[in-house]
Amino acid sequence: MDLISVNREKCIQCGICVKICPPMILSMEENGPQVVNPKACIACGHCVAVCPNMAIDNIRTPRANQVTLKNFPVIDATTAQQFLRSRRSIRCYKNTKVPREQLLKLVDIARFAPTASNKQGISYIIVEDPKILKKVTEVTIQWMEANQSQWWSFPIHIRAYREHGIDGILHSAPNLIIATALKDFKNSRENTMLSFSYLELFANTLGLGSAWAGLIEMCASSKYYPLLELFNIPDDKKLTGAVMVGYPQYSFQRLVDRNPLDVTWM
């Protein structure tokens, strides 16, 4: 089966699909676009999405699976700026269970994040069992106790947990979302960061808060078996990121400033 199909009656040979194709696998011929190197297609869907006459279709990114974009930009600049700046890293959560359908919405939007050469390749594990989450905190503390000199904050978290029962690892979040990828996947960390950025931004629209679980990532990257065993990650995969999710206990009333903009023009 051919990679693309073209409705010759609708095609006006504008050439946009050819110009916009990242791997340049299309060529404009007398009777419309033709595929030059089908194996190089990265399934980005640009050719189908950009066609003004709906004249082209691609079996790897079917038009039937694409959603019509009625307006662009989708939101105005002021709204977008406020939305982006309103995201905060949440470390105080309500003791409220997050419905599975909400958590699925988060990971579903994460898969639409841009990735290197559209490789994608990120899978997710959603931890919601409070017993497992408690064990995650405990084994991470144990790892920190064995590596107290590795980071300045380790003794602080250990003391807070052992003496006062304060969870500075997951901050008592009701959910932990783990990203995984094949061990030989070169762009796994970059793709994870992009996908989790989408996840965190979208979480705000659902009334949820999130924060990167950096200590979990550090523990996992050291290949600490007691932690990795809890997540039951397949042998051919590795943990590439971790984000805690839940309902924020407090609401921020103001947008926080950052360092002054530093830009150079050339």
> What is the identity of the amino acid at 241?
G
Same domain for 152 and 36, yes or no, is no
- Over residues 80-120, the pLDDT tens digits come to 999 999 999 999 999 999 999 999 999 999 999 999 999 99
**Residue 51 CB: number of other CB atoms within 10 A?**
22
More confident site: 260 or 234: 260
Same domain, 59 and 88: no
Q: Determine if the pTM surpasses 0.95.
A: no
Q: Is residue 121 part of a domain?
A: yes
Residue 264 lies in a domain: no
Do 184 and 94 lie in a common domain?
Answer: yes
Tell me the pLDDT tens digit for each residue of 134-183.
Answer: 999 999 999 999 998 888 999 999 999 999 999 999 999 999 999 999 99
Distance, in Å, from the CA atom of 63 to the CA atom of 48, rounded to the nearest integer, reads 6
HSE at residue 117, side-chain half, CA atoms within 13 A, is 10
Give CA–CA dist 87/79, Å, rounded: 13
Q: Is 16 among the domain residues?
A: yes
Q: Is residue 45 part of a domain?
A: yes
In a domain, 132, yes or no: yes
Task: Answer yes or no: is pLDDT of 35 > 80.
Answer: yes
Answer whether residue 1 shows pLDDT above 80. Answer: no
Residues 147 and 87 in one domain: yes
Greatest distance between any 2 Cα atoms in the chain:
77
Q: What is the residue whose two structure tokens read 């405990």? A: 138
Statement to judge: residues 30 and 144 lie in one domain: no
Could you tell me the CATH number of the domain that includes residue 21? 3.30.70.20
Verify that 33 and 139 share a domain, yes or no. Answer: no
Are 171 and 244 in contact, with CB atoms under 8 Å apart? yes
Average pLDDT, the chain: 95
Give the structural domain span for 61.
4-65
Residue 214: pLDDT over 70: yes
Secondary structure element (H or E) that encloses residue 179, with its range: strand 175-182
Q: Which 3 state secondary structure label does DSSP give 91?
A: coil
Q: Is residue 188 within 8 Å of residue 240, measured between CB atoms? A: yes
pLDDT, position 150: 85
Site of tokens 């050339």: 266
266 domain-assigned: no
CATH number at residue 233: 3.40.109.10
Same domain for 15 and 60, yes or no, is yes
Radius of gyration of the chain (CA): 23
CA 163-167-171 angle, 5° bins = 155
Distance CA 34, CA 27 (A): 5
What is the SS3 string spanning 120-181? CCCEEEEECCHHHHHHHHHHHHHHHHCCHHHCCCHHHHHHHHHHHCCCCCCCCCCEEEEEEE
Residues 141 and 229 reside in one and the same domain: yes
Number of structural domains (the chain) is 2
Are 185 and 96 in the same domain?
yes
234 with 111, same domain? Answer: yes
105 to 111, 178, 180, 202, 204: CA distances (angstroms): 10, 15, 18, 9, 12
Same domain, 24 and 130: no
Is the separation of the CB atoms in 159 and 78 below 8 Å? no
Res. 210: pLDDT tops 80:
yes
Same domain flag for 57 and 137: no
CA dihedral 188, 178, 106, 62 (to 10 degrees): 40
> Residues of the chain with pLDDT > 70: what percent?
100
